[in-house]
């Protein structure tokens, strides 16, 4: 898919991260449709122009959220996304991560690199101290990514988050700036 020169917030050897834009809708929703089997039952993503517009608007128009696209550096293709939701500043300085790879990029290590870039941005320019990931226990790929990024398991919450119309159990994983510095 053709790409315009984006403004990357952080770059690694194979990927770069940038904010969501309205013009990303066609590629993003096409990737969501291609990845439906990969994401179910873990995620429900916007798969139409209208749904994308609402999704992107929430990520770009709300100070309590920040959305990042993980893009392949060579092509600019969107490989996945990492969102920071429920950002609370003050004494808490915490946010909750949600992420997903698209099918064409899954299993290639691109999301690991992208997640590391977003974590660095969150603990740097965004000024957060703690990041949390809430993962359904059967989502082994997402749990493996959290572990590789240095997150620790902090607990289990039954019926914590509603996904696709059902309240689902989640494991709670966390990473602080101190943990990252020690790792």
What pLDDT digit, counting tens, does each position of 16-70 carry? 999 999 999 999 999 999 999 888 878 888 999 999 999 999 999 899 999 999 9
Across the range 149-160, mean pLDDT stands at 96
The structure tokens listed for 140 are 């082994």
Q: Which pLDDT tens digit goes with each residue over 67-122?
A: 999 999 999 999 999 999 999 999 999 999 999 999 999 999 999 999 999 999 99
Q: Which residues contact 106 (CB under 8 A, 6 or more apart)?
A: 35, 38, 141
> pTM value?
0.92
Q: How far apart are CA 3 and CA 126, in angstroms?
A: 27
CB 17 within 8 A of CB 9: yes
Q: How far apart are CA 160 and CA 169, in angstroms?
A: 6
Res 5 pLDDT > 60: no
**Strand order, beta sheet including 130-135:** 10-11, 15-19, 66-72, 78-88, 94-101, 130-135, 166-176, 152-163
Q: How far apart are CA 110 and CA 13, in angstroms?
A: 10
Residue 169 backbone phi and psi in degrees, to 5: -65, 150
């Amino acid at each position: 898919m053709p790409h315009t020169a984006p403004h990357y917030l952080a770059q690694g050897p194979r990927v770069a991260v940038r904010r969501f834009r309205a013009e990303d809708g066609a590629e993003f929703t096409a990737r969501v449709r291609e990845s439906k089997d990969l994401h179910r039952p873990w995620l429900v993503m916007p798969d139409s122009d209208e749904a994308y517009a609402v999704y992107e608007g929430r990520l770009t128009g709300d100070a309590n959220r920040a959305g990042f696209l993980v893009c392949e550096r060579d092509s600019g293709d969107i490989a996945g996304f990492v969102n920071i939701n429920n950002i609370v500043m003050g004494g808490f300085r915490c946010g909750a991560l949600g992420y997903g790879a698209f099918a064409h990029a899954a299993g290639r290590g691109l999301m690991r690199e992208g997640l590391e870039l977003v974590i660095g941005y969150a603990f740097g320019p965004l000024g957060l101290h703690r990041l949390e990931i809430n993962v359904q226990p059967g989502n082994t790929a997402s749990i493996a990514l959290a572990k590789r990024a240095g997150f620790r398991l902090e607990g289990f919450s039954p019926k914590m988050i509603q996904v696709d119309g059902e309240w689902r159990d989640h494991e709670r994983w966390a990473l602080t700036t101190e943990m990252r510095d020690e790792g």
